[in-house]
């Protein structure tokens, strides 16, 4: 299993869009728009997301993973990877404290930043995985999000996610809350892509 810790930079327009959705408004209040850049930057400096993933060859793929991919229309992949990306428990604890103090607006801002950060963290892992696949003359397909409790538990168990602080709570919700879990199938590069890759290697 590969474990990574990294920095990400939440995209301000995306955070604003998520925040508007949370608040149920078409436009943010002017005072909120003014503080958003500072809140994003403060979060970026304080929080270090982490992620981990593991890959299995075709014959080694856990049965539950194979079944989930088949339901998504993916059959007989060359390999399958399971990925977990999280921003950790600290932001969730901060949000709980804000709620206790009645800081509704700040809670909404932090939630929006966390949602964007979790997604960026997952996309970062996908980029690393794509490089792994490319080195084996493969490419990765679109990830299949894992949200169903039984499959979530299987993924977390196989990856020993509890050692990295990720598990399911008593209500079978992901903990920490701002965590993404997915399965990714590998597919052989097409002849055209393989030829292009070989040509690039020869020219460097």
- Over residues 48-77, the pLDDT tens digits come to 899 999 999 999 999 999 999 999 999 999
- What are the CA-CA distances from residue 160 to residues 54, 77, 94, 129, 154 (Å)? 11, 24, 26, 19, 10
Start-to-end Cα distance in the chain: 30
How far is 182 from 84, CA to CA, in rounded Å?
A: 7
> CATH code for 2-203?
3.40.109.40
Q: Is 137 left (phi over 0), alpha (psi -120 to 50) or beta?
A: left
Whole-number pLDDT of residue 200: 57
Residue 194 scores a pLDDT above 60: no
Whole-number pLDDT of residue 202: 54
Locate the domains of the chain by residue range.
2-203
């Amino acid at each position: 299993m590969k474990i990574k810790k990294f920095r990400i930079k939440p995209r301000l327009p995306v955070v604003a869009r998520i925040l508007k959705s949370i608040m149920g408004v078409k436009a943010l209040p002017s005072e909120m728009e003014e503080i958003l850049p500072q809140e994003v930057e403060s979060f970026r400096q304080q929080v270090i997301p982490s992620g981990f993933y593991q890959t299995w060859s075709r014959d080694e793929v856990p049965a539950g993973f194979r079944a989930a991919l088949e339901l998504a229309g993916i059959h007989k992949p060359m390999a399958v990877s399971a990925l977990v990306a999280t921003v950790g428990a600290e932001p969730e604890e901060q949000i709980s404290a804000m709620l206790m103090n009645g800081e509704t607006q700040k809670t909404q801002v932090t939630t929006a930043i966390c949602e964007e950060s979790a997604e960026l963290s997952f996309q970062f892992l996908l980029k690393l995985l794509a490089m792994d696949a490319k080195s084996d003359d493969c490419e990765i397909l679109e990830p299949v999000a894992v949200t169903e409790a039984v499959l979530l538990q299987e993924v977390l168990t196989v990856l020993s996610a509890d050692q990295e602080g990720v598990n399911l709570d008593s209500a079978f919700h992901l903990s920490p809350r701002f965590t993404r879990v997915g399965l990714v199938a590998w597919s052989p590069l097409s002849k055209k892509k393989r030829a292009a890759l070989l040509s690039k290697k020869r020219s460097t």
